Structure 1
Amino acid sequence: MTVHPYLDPEDSTAAAAIAAIGEELGMFDDWLDRYQFIIELGRKLPPYPVELQTEALRVKGCQSQVWLAAKAEGDNLYFAGTSDAAIVSGLVALVLRVYSGRPRSEILATPAQFLKDLGLIGALSTNRGNGVAAMVERIHAIAAA
């Protein structure tokens, strides 16, 4: 079996992924522990190939370097991503858990509002909040194409 960087969905739907992430984050009493959890998620991302770290695949609007690649299988889109910053890699992992392996219609029907609902946007610096929103915008643009 070939290892590839594109994430298969863990959860049956984007909504189920968001609910599961909310439950997982809710297990921690404070944001320091939640940040550690998010960093660990980033460490578990599949290795992202160096050849995909191109300017064309870099997400604009992120303070850190973030790369996001997509591949289509039928109507479903699979995403791979990474960042040069530990916390941002974890945010990449969260976003990909919600969107990767989903039909285009489900991706487009799942706005970035979940990031606020989970308390992530309020807990992040403005630059990181803008960066994670830019990741979702990029995913939506790919799904709409």
Structure 2
Amino acid sequence: MSLPSALAEIVDDFSALADSDKVTLLLEFASELPDLPESMHEEAMEPVPECQSPIFLSVDAADRSAVTLYFSAPPEAPTTRGFASILHQGLNGASAQEIAEVPADFFHDLGLAAVISPLRLRGMAGMLARIKRQVAEQSGGVSS
């Protein structure tokens, strides 16, 4: 599996934990999702309808060597915020090519399936798919 080093480290952190501790770590990630810059508004961001909570994302891949990700997720949706934060911490600053090479199902390696519903995990897959599509569109078609 080809993962940027920051995302690989997150996967390793989750895989080393018991199921109950994985939920705790996911909630810690939720509290670490950065706020949107004041210049960015949800209206200009792409919604992720696969998520049960309203989440929006935007990608800036103008610099193919260091993609920037933005997420907006409500505080009352800690699971969704946790997923967004994992993707932000794991992919923000990665190259367009590195993001294109992330397997669509990498999140299974986090080991959350035993503690998070498949419907919620589908939300993380939706976020990643939109990130990859936006990166490909903005960077001239880099694809996995």
Q: Is the structural similarity TM-score above 0.5?
A: yes
Is the partner of 1:120 in helix, strand or coil? coil
Report the equivalent of 1:77: 67
CA distance in 1, matches of 2:13, 2:134: 28
- State the TM-score, normalizing by the size of structure 2: 0.78
What RMSD, in angstroms, separates the aligned Cα atoms of the two structures? 2.2
- 63, 78, 96: which one aligns with 1:104: 96
Q: Match for residue 48 of structure 1?
A: 36
- AA matched with 1:33: D
| CA 1:23–1:117: 2 relative to 1, 3 Å | closer
Q: Which protein has greater RCO, CA pairs closer than 8 Å, 6+ apart?
A: 2
Q: How much has 1:24 moved relative to structure 2?
A: 1.9
Q: Which amino acid aligns with 2:71?
A: G
Q: CA deviation at 1:78?
A: 0.6
2:117 maps to: 125
Match of 2:128 among 126, 131, 136: 136
- Is 2:20 aligned against 1:32? yes
What is the match of residue 80 of structure 2?
Answer: 88
Distance 1:122 1:34 in 2: 10
Deviation of 1:118 (Å)? 2.3
**1:61-109: per-residue Cα shift (whole Å, max 9, x none)?**
2111111122234213110113220121011111122222122111111
Name the structure 2 match of 1:15.
4
Q: For 1:113 and 1:17, locate their aligned partners in 2 and report how far apart those are by CA, in whole Å.
A: 17
Aligned in 2, Cα 1:56/1:96: closer, same or farther, shift over 3 Å?
Answer: closer
Instruction: Give unpaired runs (5+ residues) of structure 2.
Output: 138-144
Q: What amino acid does structure 2 have at the position aligned with 1:36?
A: T
Aligned residue for 1:102, secondary structure, equals coil
- Structure 2 counterpart SS, 1:68: strand
Cα deviation, residue 21, structure 1: 1.2
Q: Between the two proteins, what is the percent identity of the paired residues?
A: 26
SS of the residue aligned with 1:36? helix
Q: Following the alignment from structure 2 to structure 1, what is the Cα–Cα distance between the partners of residues 108 and 128?
A: 13
In the alignment, which residue of structure 2 is the partner of 1:64? 53
Instruction: Give the paired residue count.
Output: 132
